[in-house]
Amino acid sequence: MTYTPYKRSDSAGSTAFRDYALVDTAASVRRLQNAMTQHAVLVWIVLPIFVLLEAFVPVMAVSCATGYANWTILVVVLLEAHHCWAEHQAWTSLRELLTPPERTIMRQLGIARSRRKMVVLGVLEEIDLYTDISFPLIARACDAILTLKWLEAWEEVPIFGDAMVAIITIMRFWGFATLLAISNVGLTGLAGLYAMHAEEASPEKATDPVEGVSGRAFFTWAKAAETSMMPSVALICNEMATQRRYRLDENKDAGAAAQAREDAVMGKLDAASAREAEMIKMEEVEKLDAEEKVYFFSLLFVKVFLGNLLQLWLQGSFFALTFTSTGTQAKVKVLVSMAISGLQAVARVWQSLGRLGLLGCFNALMVILALGWVGAKVYFAFKCEDHLWNLTTGCVTF
């Protein structure tokens, strides 16, 4: 049990008075973890099963001309409704676990102001996931012309062209799309669900009667929130993990720490040694720093590279190869999916810039180049005579 404040307005409508109410922290932790787990199961197990049914149920059939059936979007709408409910439950539970000074810090850092934007990002992620795992079915419906054209285009590519022709002959275009979709669901979703189950601490272990919720617990919830496609929850958990990593080390001397800071200012001591003298548990800081870098790097690789950029490249090729075969509906659906993937990639890279330093800048450059490449493929789909453009060969003539 901990005490947390609630606001009580006076007669003028202000919030000058603050009282403290007893909050069951264990119950808050359970609500938080249950909300994230339930939604993650819907996103990564129920939704893929629903998409799989589109391959076998006639009323849900996917066509080359129109893409996935329009009525199936209702299922995505229901999923988004649950997303909003689960995000509210998780956010409210997290607020109950924060102390009054921590809430003030979160407001000063703009975490609360960023919530709406991050919720929108989570909604777009789920829409993009549905379009991405439905894409192999659309590619299979268009396979009569799609793979043959793709083979011919790769025949003109130097160095790697012959190897790709041999692979495409076996896998087909829709096989590549299926492999990407399975990799995304497996690495991001199922592996994430397993990690959520393996790392999920009991409410009693996640909180300490004296120090409250540990930084490690907040960091674990941040990873779980990413699996649950709740970037708003991941944002506040990451920031709280940063705040909580600095824990007082009572075995260190306050006078020595003050002298070390003074020596660092005077140039007598390097910054690393001065930091080591501070009255904080450096082992905890270094451990969480390392985990955070691995977390953000894996997030960029799995979500941005695998979930966004490779899908963008493949969908750009599909758009060009089937330009004369697909109807307006299918084209619009593919372009919308590509636009959402591009926005996600930019948002994720921007979010990681401050956390990864030079590595984040390198990732940003790679994303910009990849988006430019895909944008060129879409542009030349309207300009090239046969609608397909390769980076190494220019417009392809069939």
Please spell the DSSP secondary structure of 131-181, one letter per residue: HHHHHHHHHHHTHHHHHHHHHHHHHTSTTTHHHHHHHHHHHHHHHHHHHHH
Residue 17 lies in a domain: no
The four Cα atoms 7, 9, 13, 17 give a dihedral, to 10 degrees, of -80
Boundary of a domain, candidates 254, 280, 306: 280
Which residues is 208 bridged to in the sheet?
212
Same domain, 122 and 257: no
Q: pTM for the complete prediction?
A: 0.81
Task: Record the tokens describing residue 233, joined without a space.
Answer: 């929850």
| Residues 209, 223 within the same domain | yes
Strand (E) or helix (H) holding 240: helix 231-244
Whether 11 is in a domain gets the answer no
pLDDT given for residue 68 in this prediction: 84
Domain co-membership, 250 together with 233: no
Residues in the chain with pLDDT values less than 70: 1-23, 201-212, 244-289, 354-357
Asked if 240 and 253 sit in the same domain, the reply is no
Residues 115 and 263 in one domain: no
Over the stretch 211-255, which tens digit does the pLDDT of each residue have? 567 777 888 898 899 999 999 999 898 888 877 666 555 555 556
- Give the range of the structural domain holding residue 265, as residue numbers without chain letter: 246-280
Whole-number pLDDT of residue 158: 82
Shared domain check, 182 and 134: yes
The residue from 260, 280, 300 where one domain ends is 280
Task: Indicate whether 12 belongs to any domain.
Answer: no
Please indicate, yes or no, whether residues 229 and 355 belong to a single structural domain of this protein: yes
Q: Is 38 helix (H, G, I), strand (E, B) or coil?
A: helix
Tens of pLDDT along 312-341? 999 999 999 888 888 888 888 889 889 998
Q: Do 129 and 262 have their domain in common?
A: no
